[in-house]
Amino acid sequence: MFEPSDEAPEPTAPRPRGRIPEPGDEPTLTAEEDAEVEHAVEQLLEEVSGPETQTERLLQAHELRGRCAIITGASRGIGRAVALDLAEVGVDIAFNFLDEGGSSRVEAQQLARELRQLEVQVFCQACDVRNSGDVNHFVADAVEALGAVHILVNNAGIGADRALWHMTDLEWEAVLRTNLDGAFHFLRAVAPHLRAQEYGKVVNIASVHGVRSEFGLSNYAASKAGLLGLTRSAAVELGPMNINVNAVAPGYIRTTRLTDRVPAEILDRAREQSVLGRLGDPQDVAAVVLFLCSEAARHITGAVIPVDGGYLL
């Protein structure tokens, strides 16, 4: 067995990593080797770094002041909350609604008044997202009214739930054309503006049901899964022009659409399935949309962010 003898020379204590050498330290590299290492490191840095961009002042949502956003289907529910949150930080707002009777025109006018009180410009018009010609006109008019478009939130959406063996063509088409075609129509119309200015934020309001379905949602789940595919494709195509495209996937959110149409037992089950034990509110979704539109999220694109209290876990 080897044992160090008394005569063995005292081992020199290794220099702790990262310690600045002091006079009297054993030199570890010759001056020539030092210069070589320095040169190699410089070369490596040049290869990997490219021009460095600044990340200062992240999550300054008020930096959005003066930007212009189009939000589809904002007369009520989640779209309305998104419009109010963006206007709070000084974003000018264009929004549409469907106006198929009922109270939506009155609700839209009420929202427009509330937005103007926040001292932003507002453009509000009925426009059916299913009709690509109407969408093109809406976008052109909105850009003329606000002066630009920097943000698009594809929010307009409907459901028409039924077991798939009873689902009519009309129910299938209405949901696909609103939730998926509508988002495509707006994205296509807005993309040239975003590309020309090499800046843009697109947020698609998808759903947890684009990821995991439940009974009776074949049309809705297909439309939202399609929207997630569209999100990823658009992120790939628009990313090189400094345009971020993301989706949020809300779980059950307390809007009138939900509370009026969905049976109480389904809402109770949804509450149980959410690990946080509650349903969400429109503001929960709006807060994430605001984040995705801010520079704090500048390195996020093609992502799907659940806002579901843990429903998908």
Least distance to ligand NDP, CB of residue 246, Å: 15
- Closer Cβ to ligand NDP, 241 or 312, answer by number: 312
Least distance to ligand NDP, CB of residue 252, Å: 5
- Closer Cβ to ligand NDP, 43 or 283, answer by number: 283
CA 48 centroid distance within chain? 29
Least distance to ligand NDP, CB of residue 96, Å: 5
- Closer Cβ to ligand NDP, 62 or 113, answer by number: 113
CA 218 centroid distance within chain? 24
Residue 141 vs residues 95, 135, 274: alpha-carbon distances, Å: 11, 10, 41
Classify burial at 100, counting beta carbons within 10 Å of its beta carbon; exposed 0-12, middle 13-18, buried 19 or more. exposed
DSSP codes joined into one string, 200-244: EEEEEE--GGGTS--TT-HHHHHHHHHHHHHHHHHHHHHGGGTEE
User: Half-sphere exposure of residue 39, counting CA atoms within 13 Å on the CB side?
Assistant: 6
- Closer Cβ to ligand NDP, 37 or 276, answer by number: 276
Least distance to ligand NDP, CB of residue 142, Å: 14
- Establish whether 220 is a catalytic residue: yes
Least distance to ligand NDP, CB of residue 133, Å: 13
Q: Cβ atoms within 10 A of the Cβ of 196, count?
A: 11
- Closer Cβ to ligand NDP, 157 or 200, answer by number: 157
Instruction: Please name the amino acid found at residue 32.
Output: E
Least distance to ligand NDP, CB of residue 242, Å: 26
Question: Can you list the pairs that 56-62 forms with residues at least 24 positions away whose Cβ atoms lie under 8 Å?
Answer: 57/295, 58/295, 58/296, 59/291, 59/294, 59/295, 59/296, 60/294, 60/295, 60/296, 61/89, 61/290, 61/291, 61/293, 61/294, 61/296, 62/89, 62/90
User: Half-sphere exposure of residue 105, counting CA atoms within 13 Å on the CB side?
Assistant: 7
Site residues, ligand NDP (CB under 6 A): 72-79, 96-99, 104, 128-130, 155-158, 178-179, 205, 207, 250, 252-253, 255-258
Q: Report d(CA 309, CA 280) in Å as an integer.
A: 7
- Closer Cβ to ligand NDP, 147 or 277, answer by number: 277
Q: Report d(CA 186, CA 190) in Å as an integer.
A: 6
- Closer Cβ to ligand NDP, 241 or 303, answer by number: 303
CA 244 centroid distance within chain? 8
Instruction: Name the DSSP class of 305.
Output: E
Q: Report d(CA 195, CA 217) in Å as an integer.
A: 35
Least distance to ligand NDP, CB of residue 16, Å: 55
Catalytic residues: 220
